[in-house]
Amino acid sequence: MKYLIDGHNFIFTQDNFFLQPHERGRVAELVNAVDAYIARHPSINAEIVLDSSVKGTVTNKRVKGRCAKVTYATRARDADQYIILMVQKAENPRQITVVSSDKEVIRACRQAGAQTMSCERFAKLISLGSKTAETEAEKPPPPSSKEEIEEWKKFFNLE
């Protein structure tokens, strides 16, 4: 399976996903999150398609030797057009899931035979097991209740 991700559409529709306030930082965060996701799912490939305006702003950090492909659309063909063309030219478009919340991109890609997924749903998918799990693991245990403390005092004869 391959994810074809509308990079800018994801970046500008998923404010809660990102820690970075600026576009360049968000592009790098998206690449790193997708890298981590495909490292956990070896049968998945991903290509993040960005408009040419941010070319050169991303350095891919490889995760266990795997990495999402980052493609910059040309000035003649924007990312939306590139994604649609890739699906139309695909040998088996049913093996492609296009990640976008752009209605025109979704319509054209579905018409060409690809599956689609909203940016919101994809954000939840790639967050599971990464930021969410790390955040949960870093949380300290809740404080003990007074009853628990009293039980332990009795147990260790500390009263």
- Per DSSP (E only), the strands in the chain are 2-6, 45-50, 69-72, 96-99, 115-117
Q: What is the DSSP string of 8-20?
A: HHHHHH-GGG-S-
10-66 pLDDT, tens per residue?
998 887 787 777 777 888 889 889 999 998 888 999 999 998 765 554 444 443 445
- Interatomic CA distance for residues 152 and 159, integer angstroms: 10
58-113 pLDDT, tens per residue?
444 443 445 788 888 887 889 999 999 999 999 999 999 999 999 999 999 999 99
**Single-letter amino acid code for the residue at 88:** Q
Query: φ, ψ for residue 5 (rounded to 5)?
Result: -105, 125
Instruction: Give pLDDT, residue 142.
Output: 65
Domains and CATH numbers, the chain: 2-155 (3.40.50)
115-150 pLDDT, tens per residue?
999 999 999 999 865 544 444 444 556 667 788 778
Instruction: Give pLDDT, residue 139.
Output: 53
